[in-house]
Structures are given as C-alpha cells and as structure tokens.
C-alpha cells in the first residue's frame, strides 16, 4: 500500500475541517428559520390563518432595509456594537412611521432573539432560509434574481414565463438589485445558479484572453 504524502494528508485534513466548519455555519440560518416556521405553524393551528403572510411580509421589510440602508446593514454586521445597542438601533429602523417601515410582533421578537444570540450578521441568510421553507410549504420553488437595475413588470413576466417553460410552474421570486453585475441577470433557483451577468461575461473573456496570451 503506497505511503501517504504528509503534506497531501495535511491539506486534505484542512479541507475537511473547512467543509465541516462551513456546514456548521450554513446550518445556523436553517436552524433559526426552522424555529420561526415552527412558531408560525403553531400560531396557524391556533386559528391565526394570516400568520404566514404576516411574517413573510415583515421579513421582506427587514430584507429590504438590509439591502437599501447601509447604516442599518453596518449595525447588523458589526461585532463591536453591544447586543442591546444593536437591538435598539435595529428596532428604531423597523418601527419607523417616517420611513413607512413596520414589522409585526412575531418578526420584532424574532429579530430580537437573533441579535441577542449574536447572529445579527446572518439575518439576511436566515430570511433567505425562511423564504425557502415558506416556498416549500406553499408547494413553490424559491428563486432569487439579481439585476443591475430593478426589473419592470414586462421583464418580470418574461422571466417567470421562461421558468414556466423550463418546467418550473410555481416559482416564488425575490428580487435584489446589485449595480456591480453591470447588466444581465443572476438567477439562483434552489441549489442551482445561472449567471448571465455582464460582469461574469467580462470575467470569462478576461480569463480566455489570459489563457490565449
């Protein structure tokens, strides 16, 4: 039996540890999302039939604040801000009549739990995990589309029609704007990623030119 190269074994062990660490980190958003879904299910079974939609709408408002408000995002992501101060600043944004942002009690309480447990930086990923669970509950697929500018109604309808023709009849679409992709779209559907952005095309062109040089 051939001897194992110590360096190869060391690299393999490091890669395995990295995979295990990543799996542990990825499990955190799923765990929090699962807890919120369990709360929603319990509330629904008690007769509150609007709870799923109410929580989903509240989380959409939080996700929009994370995406659009740089200060809000920094507050969530900074490990230097104490949890109490972090929670106070976040709730001031989430319950602000001046900006029209308002979230239901379930979402406020949930965000409080996430922050007190020092998982605020993962909030966007937790919301994405909840959306996936909610789409599954509805018998839908969860898709996220990233565009350089907001989609208009025609573009949105064309995208959904294309997904329908590809066999994805019930897709719940969430949209995110990222000017850095320059143009085109990046679509994440379940575990699959489709990148037709101009940024990606330029990167592929640059690699091809470098290889040909």
**Dist. CA 127–CA 157, nearest whole Å:** 24
Q: Which of 7, 1, 2, 133 is nearest to 59 (CA)?
A: 133
137's enclosing H/E stretch is helix 123-137
Q: What angle do CA 112, 117, 122 make, to 5 degrees?
A: 85
Residue 118, strand partner residues: none
Contact criterion met (CB below 8 Å) for 86 and 76: yes
pLDDT of the chain, 213 residues: tens digit per residue: 445 555 555 555 555 554 554 444 468 889 999 999 999 999 999 999 999 999 999 998 898 888 888 888 899 989 899 999 999 988 888 877 666 667 899 999 999 999 999 999 999 999 988 988 888 888 878 888 888 888 888 888 888 888 888 888 788 888 888 888 888 888 888 778 888 888 888 777 777 777 655
Beta strands, E only, the chain: 95-96, 101-102, 141-147, 171-177, 185-189, 192-195
**69 vs 8: CA distance, rounded Å:** 45
Length of the chain: 213
What's the start-to-end Cα distance of the chain, in Å?
A: 43
Q: Which tens digits make up the pLDDT trace of 2-40? A: 455 555 555 555 555 545 544 444 688 899 999 999 999
Domain 140-213 annotated CATH 3.40.30: yes
- What ranges do the domains of the chain cover? 1-137, 140-213
CA angle (77 as vertex; 72, 78 as ends), nearest 5: 100
Query: How far is the C-alpha of 41 from the C-alpha of 48, rounded, in Å?
Result: 9
DSSP 8-state secondary structure symbol assigned to residue 46: T
- Cα angle at 91 between 142 and 67, to 5 degrees? 40
* Domain range 1-137, its CATH number among 1.10.520.20, 1.10.10.10, 3.30.450.20, 1.20.58.760: 1.10.520.20
Write down the pTM of the prediction: 0.65
The tokens describing 16, both together, are: 């395995």
- Do 1-137 and 140-213 come out as alike in CATH topology? no
């Amino acid at each position: 039996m051939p001897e194992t190269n110590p360096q190869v074994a060391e690299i393999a062990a490091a890669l395995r540890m990295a995979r295990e660490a990543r799996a542990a980190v990825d499990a955190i958003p799923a765990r929090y999302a699962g807890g919120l879904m369990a709360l929603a299910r319990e509330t629904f079974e008690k007769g509150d039939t609007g709870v799923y939609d109410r929580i989903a709408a509240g989380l959409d408002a939080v996700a929009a604040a994370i995406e659009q408000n740089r200060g809000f995002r920094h507050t969530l992501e900074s490990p230097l801000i104490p949890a109490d101060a972090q929670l106070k600043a976040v709730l001031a944004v989430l319950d602000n009549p001046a900006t029209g942002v308002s979230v239901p009690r379930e979402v406020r309480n949930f965000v409080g739990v996430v922050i007190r447990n020092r998982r605020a930086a993962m909030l966007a990923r937790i919301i994405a995990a909840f959306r996936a669970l909610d789409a599954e509950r509805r018998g839908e697929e969860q898709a996220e589309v990233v565009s350089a500018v907001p989609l208009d109604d025609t573009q949105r309808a064309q995208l959904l029609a294309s997904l329908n023709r590809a066999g994805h009849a019930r897709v719940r679409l969430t949209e995110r704007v990222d000017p850095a992709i320059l143009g085109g779209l990046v679509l994440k559907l379940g575990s699959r990623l489709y990148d037709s952005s101009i940024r990606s095309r330029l990167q592929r062109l640059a690699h091809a030119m470098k290889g040909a040089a």
